[in-house]
Amino acid sequence: MKALPSIQEMERAYKSSDASYDGIFYLAVRSTGVFCRPSCSARKPYPRNVEYYATSREAVFAGYRPCKRCRPMESNGATPDWLEGLLAKIDGDPSARYSDEVLRRNGIEPARARRYFQKTFGMTFQAYCRGRRLGKAFQQIRSGDDLDDVALGYGYNSHSGFRDAFSRTFGSSPGKSRTGDCIITSWIESPLGALIAAATSEGICLLEYSDRRMLDAQVATLRKNFHCAIIPGDNQHLALLKKELEEYFHGNRKSFTVPLISPGTPFQEKVWKELRRIPYGKTVPYEEIARRIGSSEAQRAVGHANGLNRIAIVIPCHRVVNKNGKLGGYGGGLWRKQKLLQLEQGQNLF
């Protein structure tokens, strides 16, 4: 997993167009929706408008499109000439279907394109298209009102755009499930990037960073566990979660009261329960968690269950570290783990 340099270092790097940082991080500009290499020659954005990503993939999944000037999706070195046209096409209409036949009609050999995306971007071509679709829909919502999710209810176009992309991506049929029991999902802005939250009528069942690769799989597990459709919206648990998260990110909340629904194997549930016992501001090694649940030889399984935690932050898997004091892993990216631990040490995230 790639960790990001410090914010000051990245700020200095992009302000001076330092090409030695190319590939180390990407900067995304909230006001324009574009992401760049640090060396980009475009006008330098204000730091408060910048988000940083370790990979171009994360920037894409967070809803940003590649800059036309510095072309951050292209690997350094030889770039196939078909790529730029294809990326522009997807960007122009991310909801279109790019079947093999469509690719061929555009003079692109599908197998080669698939290999190229996998090798260069670390994702399949379809995953890229899906990421752009979802990202664009999310961004439509964001452009309405940065923090106020209530805006969702008013902007019909963005709401339907979101639902559309969401159902395309996750295969649910939102309209039909309005009356039945369903999982309601919502978008939450945070100082660590956007989060996707989901809740049933019983409680929160998902809280995950929107750029996380596991998100698709997590949502699939949810649908399997709950046997119901997934639709965008809001309910009382999501409202409470948002309020408590905001307090948490401001350093004004040390524990969460929002009800959680997180079914797993008996072992996973034991691990997750143990995680919730780690006090705010404290860290515990994986070994110790294994010992506490009475299976000290199961450190690796503990690490695995930790990684499968679907409710980030509230089930504080970020408080589990390596024995040597190193951070260990974190599904949302090590820089986020570091920030969360710093926050709990009293540092201001804003």
Q: Which residues are catalytic?
A: 317
Q: Which is nearer to Zn ion, 15 or 69 (CB)?
A: 69
Q: How big is the site for Zn ion, counted in residues (CB under 5 A)?
A: 6
Bridge partners (DSSP) listed for residue 184: 199, 231
Closest listed residue to residue 158, CA positions, set 173, 174, 144, 169 = 144
* Token representation of residue 34: 């574009």
Asked if 19 is part of the footprint of Zn ion (rule: CB under 5 A), the reply reads no
C-alpha 289 chain-centroid distance? 26
Asked if 152 is part of the footprint of Zn ion (rule: CB under 5 A), the reply reads no
- Interface region with Zn ion, contact rule CB under 5 A, candidates 29-37, 124-132, 181-189, 217-225: 29-37
Asked if 137 and 144 count as a contact pair (C-beta separation under 8 A), the reply is: no
- Please state the closest distance from residue 73 (CB atom) to Zn ion, in A: 11
* Token representation of residue 291: 């010992």
Residue 160: its H or E element: helix 156-170
C-alpha 203 chain-centroid distance? 21
Asked if 343 is part of the footprint of Zn ion (rule: CB under 5 A), the reply reads no
Among 67, 87, 204, 308, binds Zn ion (CB under 5 A): 67
Closest listed residue to residue 114, CA positions, set 129, 101, 126 = 126
Among 27, 36, 194, 308, binds Zn ion (CB under 5 A): 36
Strands 26-29 vs 50-53: parallel, antiparallel or unpaired: antiparallel
Asked if 183 and 199 count as a contact pair (C-beta separation under 8 A), the reply is: yes
Among 2, 69, 104, 112, binds Zn ion (CB under 5 A): 69
Asked if 40 is part of the footprint of Zn ion (rule: CB under 5 A), the reply reads yes
Among 42, 151, 214, 293, binds Zn ion (CB under 5 A): 42
Asked if 273 is part of the footprint of Zn ion (rule: CB under 5 A), the reply reads no
Asked if 254 is part of the footprint of Zn ion (rule: CB under 5 A), the reply reads no
Q: Which is nearer to Zn ion, 36 or 245 (CB)?
A: 36
Burial of 254 (0-12, 13-18, 19+ CB in 10 A): exposed
- Please state the closest distance from residue 342 (CB atom) to Zn ion, in A: 29
Binding mask 70-89 for Zn ion (x = CB under 5 A): x-------------------
Q: Which is nearer to Zn ion, 39 or 299 (CB)?
A: 39
Q: Which residue has the tokens 């110790």?
A: 288
Residues at the contact surface with Zn ion, assessed by CB under 5 A: 36, 40, 42, 67, 69-70
